[in-house]
Amino acid sequence: MRIQYLLHNAYGGGGTIRTVINQANALCDEHDVEIASVYRTSRETVFAIDPRVRLVTLTQLKETGSYRTDPAGKNSRLANKTRRFRNMLPHRHDVRYRRWDPQVDLTIVRYLRSIPDGVLVTTRPALNLLSAWFAPRRLIRVAQEHMNLESHKPKLRAVLLRAYPRLDALAVLTEHDRVTYRAALGESDVRVVRVPNGTPPWPLPPAKLENKVLVAAGRLARQKGFDLLIEAFATVAARHPDWQLRIFGWGKLRDKLAAQIEELDLTDQVRLSGPTRQLNKELEAASGYVLSSRFEGLPMVLLESSAAGVPAVAFDCPTGPREIIDHGRTGLLVPPEDVAALADGMLRLIENPAERRAMGAAARADSRYSIGTVRNDWVRLFTELAAARRGSPPAAPLGPGKQRSGHDHHDRQYR
């Protein structure tokens, strides 16, 4: 089976990129898998891609002000003259679309039209919309929702609900979002399924949970709530000045968060550590993970902390943490955006080492989100959709087939 993933930027370090690469790596032993990236922002990908997965870039354009390529924004996307044209297609309501223009749209559409057969999996709202509008009907078109319906602004939400009935399936991360989308889409024939993120086998020993370090990670953006986390940690630091909080990631709020840390006199205890390619080692050295997001999909880093045996304290935000954490057994859930409750949760982890170890062990033993389980869910979905197209009962998943090996960067250009 041919499976094509389309990503906004396969070279970034976000959760969507990580989980899509995990999927591709898990499927390529039996299927012909390709990842297409609209942008390329570095020489190498952050996350390792199996050599059997082809990686192609659709443009040589860089995202404006990408920290990996051009922090000042010079020689960036703004330098391209097509930026002066404002595209009126409704997918402009996707926040990432601000970096696109008609030339990029045309490049993506040409790529979609070039795919001869198989399954096309798109991975963010704007790409899902382009698939619904322009991908040929010969393809089995599957849209992935990596956030949740309620997190999208009303204009984008309305466009998605009009377009998604044109697709074969919509895959969401949580049961809550499956129910929400199914109700919103009414009687349309599009199949709405829950397929969670999956984690590969943990490559390191489980965390010992002995270091006086808490970890958080993600884009330094409002969604991730690091401003709330820093405020909460001020309470923790007052009681436990020997503990540290390390925040990994990059984003436009870095300077603002650094000023907040200085204002709260936390410069010796809170560190903005920038992006890392070795978050697994940081988790192995931590004694707790903290998720302070205002909203999520199914946070990949929370799954990874569980695989590492690191208990988490998380806002019970929409959506995701509640489906991962069994409160009091594998971690702690606290009310959304409740700074005092988040501080209390961190203090509970710090001050109860025996409970901390028990929760870490229970989190590590949870196999619901192993990549093997999730891989089987994807194969079942693709096989059933293919059978429905043929009008026949689902066949057994395809066995191992011939593969083209090796990353073939830039083997195609769609300009």
Tens-binned pLDDT, residue by residue, of the chain (415 aa): 999 999 999 998 888 999 999 999 999 999 999 999 998 888 899 899 999 999 999 987 665 444 333 433 444 444 444 455 565 666 667 766 666 677 888 899 999 999 999 999 999 999 999 999 999 999 999 999 999 999 899 999 999 999 999 999 999 999 999 999 999 999 999 999 999 999 998 989 999 999 999 999 999 999 999 999 999 999 999 999 999 999 999 999 999 999 999 999 999 999 999 988 899 999 999 999 999 999 998 999 999 999 999 999 999 998 899 999 999 999 999 999 999 999 999 999 999 999 999 999 999 998 789 999 999 999 999 999 999 988 755 444 433 333 333 444 433 433 3
Token reading at 314: 């998380």
How far, in whole angstroms, is CA 101 from its chain's centroid?
Answer: 24
In this predicted structure, what is the pLDDT of residue 67? Answer: 35
> Does 347 reside within a domain?
yes
CA distance 248 to 239: 24
Regarding whether 374 and 358 lie in a shared domain, the answer is no
Q: Does residue 121 contact residue 144 with C-beta atoms inside 8 Å?
A: yes
Looking up tokens 């880093």, which residue turns up? 301
Token reading at 84: 């002066």
> Does 415 reside within a domain?
no
Residue 38, SS3 per DSSP: strand
β-pair type (244-248, 191-194): unpaired
> Does 403 reside within a domain?
no
In this predicted structure, what is the pLDDT of residue 62? Answer: 64
In this predicted structure, what is the pLDDT of residue 6? Answer: 98
In this predicted structure, what is the pLDDT of residue 399? Answer: 38
Regarding whether 242 and 110 lie in a shared domain, the answer is no
- Distinct helix (H) and strand (E) counts, the chain: 13, 13
Residue type, 289: Y
Regarding whether 334 and 308 lie in a shared domain, the answer is yes
Regarding whether 377 and 339 lie in a shared domain, the answer is no
Token reading at 124: 């963010």
Residue among 188, 160, 192, 162 at smallest CA distance from 174: 192
Regarding whether 190 and 238 lie in a shared domain, the answer is no
Regarding whether 152 and 222 lie in a shared domain, the answer is no
Token reading at 289: 């993970």
Range of the domain at 321: 213-365
> Does 414 reside within a domain?
no
Regarding whether 260 and 111 lie in a shared domain, the answer is no
Count of domains forming the chain: 2
Token reading at 294: 């205002």
Residue 311, SS3 per DSSP: coil
Q: Does residue 342 contact residue 290 with C-beta atoms inside 8 Å?
A: yes
Q: Which one of 324, 350, 365 terminates a domain?
A: 365
Regarding whether 149 and 183 lie in a shared domain, the answer is yes
In this predicted structure, what is the pLDDT of residue 88? Answer: 60
> Does 413 reside within a domain?
no
Regarding whether 297 and 193 lie in a shared domain, the answer is no
How far, in whole angstroms, is CA 382 from its chain's centroid?
Answer: 21
Read off the CATH number of the domain in which 115 is found.
Answer: 3.40.50.2000
CA distance 401 to 385: 20
Residue among 63, 67, 66 at smallest CA distance from 83: 63
User: Can you give the length of the chain in residues?
Assistant: 415
CA distance 256 to 265: 14
Residue type, 65: G
**How many CB atoms within 10 Å of residue 270?**
26
Regarding whether 109 and 92 lie in a shared domain, the answer is yes
- Provide the whole-model pTM: 0.81
> Does 247 reside within a domain?
yes
β-pair type (119-122, 54-57): unpaired
CA distance 221 to 286: 23
In this predicted structure, what is the pLDDT of residue 164? Answer: 97
Regarding whether 255 and 141 lie in a shared domain, the answer is no
> Does 105 reside within a domain?
yes
Burial label, 376 (beta-carbon count in 10 A; 0-12, 13-18, 19+)? middle
Q: Does residue 129 contact residue 91 with C-beta atoms inside 8 Å?
A: yes
CA distances from 407 to 34, 55, 80, 196, 234 (A): 9, 6, 28, 27, 46
> Does 104 reside within a domain?
yes
Regarding whether 382 and 361 lie in a shared domain, the answer is no
Residue 214 backbone dihedrals phi, psi, to 5 degrees: -110, 145
